[in-house]
Structure 1
Amino acid sequence: MPTSHRLSCITPPFILTRLLDSDNEAIRQAALATLLTTAQLRGEREVRGLIAGALAAPDDGRRSIFDCEQGTFLPRATLIRSEDDEPAADQSVNRAFDGFGATRTFYRDVLQRNSIDGRGMRLQGYVHRGRNYNNAFWDGQEMVFGDGDGQVFSDFTGSLDVIAHELAHGVTEHTAGLEYRTQSGALNESMSDVAGSMVKQWSLQQPADQADWLIGAEVFTPHIDADALRSMKAPGTAFDNKVFGKDPQPDHMDRFVNLPDTDEGDNGGVHINSGIPNKAFYLVSVGIGGNSWEAPGHIWYESMKASNPNTQFQDFADTTFHKADELYGAGSPEQQAVSAAWAEVGVQVTTSPRCGRR
C-alpha cells in the first residue's frame, strides 16, 4: 500500500529544539543545523525517492552501504560494502550492514516477510551524512545515518533497535500506510519502536521480562545523563536532565498530549503519544510471558496489516483483540492479555473490531 509520508526521523524534534537553548555554542549549532537540514530533506524527499527508485528493485533484500563522507547529496556517496563483500575498515559501515542483516533475517524467519516491502526490496544505507548531524532517518527508499555531534549524540549506527526502528517505517508504509500525523502517526512511531525492541530482543534471545525495553540506549554520548530516547516499559522516564529536559511521553490516555499538526508540534506529537501504544505492547508481552516476538509480535504484525492510513488508537486496540481471537482463540490467555494491556493505558477494547476510520 504505497503512500505519501513525511520523513521519519529517530530523534524527536522537541529534543533538538531544547538543545537550541544550550549554553554550549557547538551543541546549539549542531541542533540548529540538524533541524534545518531535516526540514529541507522533507521537501527533497520525493526527488530523492525518484533517484533511489532505480536501485530499489526486488532482490531478496540485498544490502548496500554507502559512505557520504560528510556530504549531503546521496547520489555522490561511495559504495563501500555490498552483500557478498568482506567487512569494511569503517565500523559505521559494518554496523549498518549487520543491523540491516539482523532486521532482514528477523522479518524473514519470524514474520515470514521478504524484506521491507515483502517482495525482496534492496536495503540501502548511507553513513556519515553531513557534519554533526544528530539524526537517522528512513525516507521511503533508504536509511541514512548521521554521526552525531560527539557531545550530545553519538554515531547512530551504534544502536540495533534504531536501525530496526527506521527500517520498520518502510514496512508500515507497505502495509497499513499509517499517516504520519496525530494518533495514526503515533501508531506509526510505536510500530517502529515495537519492531526495534523485538529485533533487539530476538537478536539477544532475551525474554520480555528480562529486556530493558529502551529505544536508542546507545545514541547519547557518555556525557549525557539519559537512559535512551524512549522507554516502552515506562514512558516518560527515559531522560530527565538539564540539557534537554524531561521525557514528555505519556503512558495513559488521561495524559495524552495535544499538539499542533506541524513540524514544530511533532506532527501532532507522534514521538510523544507513541508512549501509550508502546506501553500497551510491553504489557501484552509481559502479560503473555515468554518472548515478545512470538504471540505479541504476531498479533501486532497481523493487526498492522489489517489497518489503514487513518487507524486510531481505539481502532488498533480493537483489531489486536480480534487478531488475538483469530490466532489464539476467543478468551485465550493471549486475548485476555491484550484486553488487559489496553485497559491499563486507558483504551477499552470492544468486541467489534474496526480497522480504521475513513
Structure 2
Amino acid sequence: MAPAGTLDRTISDAENTEELPGRTVRTEGQPPVEDVSVNGAYDGIGSVHAFLEEVYRQSSLDGTGLGLLATVHYGQRYDNAFWDGTQMVFGDGDGEIFTGFTPSVSVIAHELAHGLMQYSSDLLYEGQSGALNESFSDVLGALVDQYAQGQTAEQASWLIGSEIFGEGVQADGLRSMAAPGTAYDDPRLGRDPQPAHMDDYVETQADYGGVHLNSGIPNKAFHLAAMALGGHSWERAGQVWFDVVTGETLPRDADFAGFAEATVLAAGERFDEAVATAIRDAWEQVGVLAARS
C-alpha cells in the first residue's frame, strides 16, 4: 500500500475480455498513452483522489493511501462501469446509446464512492440503506465534477454522466440531482423513473429494492440543501454528508429518516444552527422528515 498522501494509480486493459485486471498499460507517473480510455481513467481517478485529499484531507478511499486500480475495455460493447470491491472497471459502451464511461468524472467519482463507502459506513445495499449508498455515490460524483470545474451550486448542472451518450440519444445524463425523473426520455432507454419525493417512493423487489430509483429522493434533498446554503457545495452540504458517511455512528441499515437526522446533527456540530436548519428544511421538502409546526 502506498504511504498516506501518495497517489498510486494502475490502469490495465482487459482487451475486450472479462478477465481482470488485464494487462497493465499505465502506472503512476507515466506519461499519457495513445489510448484515450486509459488516459481518461487515469485522469478521472486522479481528480477523485485530489478532491478527497484537498477538500476533506482524506488520502484515497480508505484514508491511508490505498492504491487505485482500474481496468478499461472490459467485455464487448459492455454498457457499464462499476466498482467490484477492489478496483474500477470500465466497459466501452455499445457505441450507440453509450459511447464509453471514462470521459465522465462524475461517473468515475460515483463508482469510486462505492469504494469509499465500503471502507467507511458500508451501508447495506438494499432498500433505503442501498438507496442512500447509491445517493452518496451521486453526491460525490457531483461534488468532484463541480470541484474540478470550480463551480458553485448555482452554476452546476447537477447531472451524473452527461458525457457518455451517443449522438441522438435523448438524455441529459444518467440522473439529475436537481430534478430526479427528468434525466432522460428516449425510446431506447425509456423515461427516467426516479422519484423526487417520498409521496412517490417506489416499492419494488427489483434492483435490491429500488436502490437506483429511490436514490432520487436523498439526491434531491442534497441538491436543495446545497442550493439553500449557496457557494461551493463541497464546503458545507458536502462536508456534512462526508462527516456522516465516514463517521462511526451510522448503522449499516440506516433508513432515509435516520440518515437525515444524522446530517442535521452533524451540521450543528461542525457548523451552526443555520446550516442545520437549511439541511433539515431540505429533508422536509422531499417528505423524509415531518414538517415542523
- The two structures have a TM-score, normalised by structure 1, of 0.79
Q: Aligned pair 1:309/2:252, yes or no?
A: yes
Task: Provide the residue aligned with 1:146 in structure 2.
Answer: 91
Q: Aligned pair 1:82/2:23, yes or no?
A: no
Task: Provide the residue aligned with 2:263 in structure 1.
Answer: 320
Give me the whole-angstrom Cα distance separating, in 1, the residues matched to 2:34 and 2:76: 20
Give me the whole-angstrom Cα distance separating, in 1, the residues matched to 2:267 and 2:33: 44
| Secondary structure at the counterpart of residue 156 of structure 1 | coil
Amino acid at match of 2:197: H
Give me the whole-angstrom Cα distance separating, in 2, the residues matched to 1:67 and 1:174: 26
| Secondary structure at the counterpart of residue 110 of structure 2 | helix
Task: Provide the residue aligned with 1:67 in structure 2.
Answer: 13
* Partner of residue 216 from structure 1, selected from 161, 164, 173: 161
Tell me which protein shows more helix as a share of its residues: 1
Contact 2:284 2:291 in 1 (8 A): no
Structure 2 residues without counterparts, runs of 5 or longer: none
Contact 2:121 2:252 in 1 (8 A): yes
* CA displacement 1:29-73 (0-9 Å, x = unmatched): xxxxxxxxxxxxxxxxxxxxxxxxxxxx34434001001111111
Amino acid at match of 1:234: A
Q: Give 1:243 shift.
A: 1.3
Q: Number of paired residues? A: 288
* Partner of residue 134 from structure 2, selected from 189, 192, 213: 189
Alignment root-mean-square deviation, CA: 1.3
* Partner of residue 197 from structure 2, selected from 248, 252, 263: 252
Q: Give 1:84 shift.
A: 1.2
Give me the whole-angstrom Cα distance separating, in 2, the residues matched to 1:250 and 1:184: 16
Superposition pairs of residues 1-358 of structure 1, within 5 angstroms = 57-59=1-3, 60-75=6-21, 77-260=22-205, 265-306=206-247, 307-329=250-272, 331-332=273-274, 334-348=275-289
Give me the whole-angstrom Cα distance separating, in 2, the residues matched to 1:305 and 1:62: 22
Give me the whole-angstrom Cα distance separating, in 2, the residues matched to 1:292 and 1:126: 30
Give me the whole-angstrom Cα distance separating, in 1, the residues matched to 2:104 and 2:210: 23
| Secondary structure at the counterpart of residue 157 of structure 1 | coil
| Secondary structure at the counterpart of residue 220 of structure 2 | helix
* CA displacement 1:204-235 (0-9 Å, x = unmatched): 00000110000011121112111111000000
Amino acid at match of 1:165: H
Amino acid at match of 2:38: V
Instruction: Answer with 242-251 or 93-102: which moved more.
Output: 242-251
| Secondary structure at the counterpart of residue 114 of structure 2 | helix
Give me the whole-angstrom Cα distance separating, in 1, the residues matched to 2:78 and 2:118: 25
Give me the whole-angstrom Cα distance separating, in 1, the residues matched to 2:268 and 2:20: 46
* CA displacement 1:145-165 (0-9 Å, x = unmatched): 000000111111111100000
Give me the whole-angstrom Cα distance separating, in 1, the residues matched to 2:20 and 2:289: 46
Give me the whole-angstrom Cα distance separating, in 2, the residues matched to 1:123 and 1:349: 41
Give me the whole-angstrom Cα distance separating, in 2, the residues matched to 1:86 and 1:239: 37
* CA displacement 1:264-289 (0-9 Å, x = unmatched): x1110000000000000000000001
* CA displacement 1:308-358 (0-9 Å, x = unmatched): 2111100000000001110112x22x111101100000022699xxxxxxx
Give me the whole-angstrom Cα distance separating, in 1, the residues matched to 2:104 and 2:204: 29
Q: Give 1:111 shift.
A: 0.8
Give me the whole-angstrom Cα distance separating, in 2, the residues matched to 1:311 and 1:185: 9
Give me the whole-angstrom Cα distance separating, in 2, the residues matched to 1:105 and 1:153: 27
Give me the whole-angstrom Cα distance separating, in 1, the residues matched to 2:257 and 2:290: 7
Structure 1 residues without counterparts, runs of 5 or longer: 1-56, 352-358
Runs of 4+ with >3 A deviation: none
Contact 2:92 2:99 in 1 (8 A): yes
Name the % identity.
47
Amino acid at match of 1:277: P
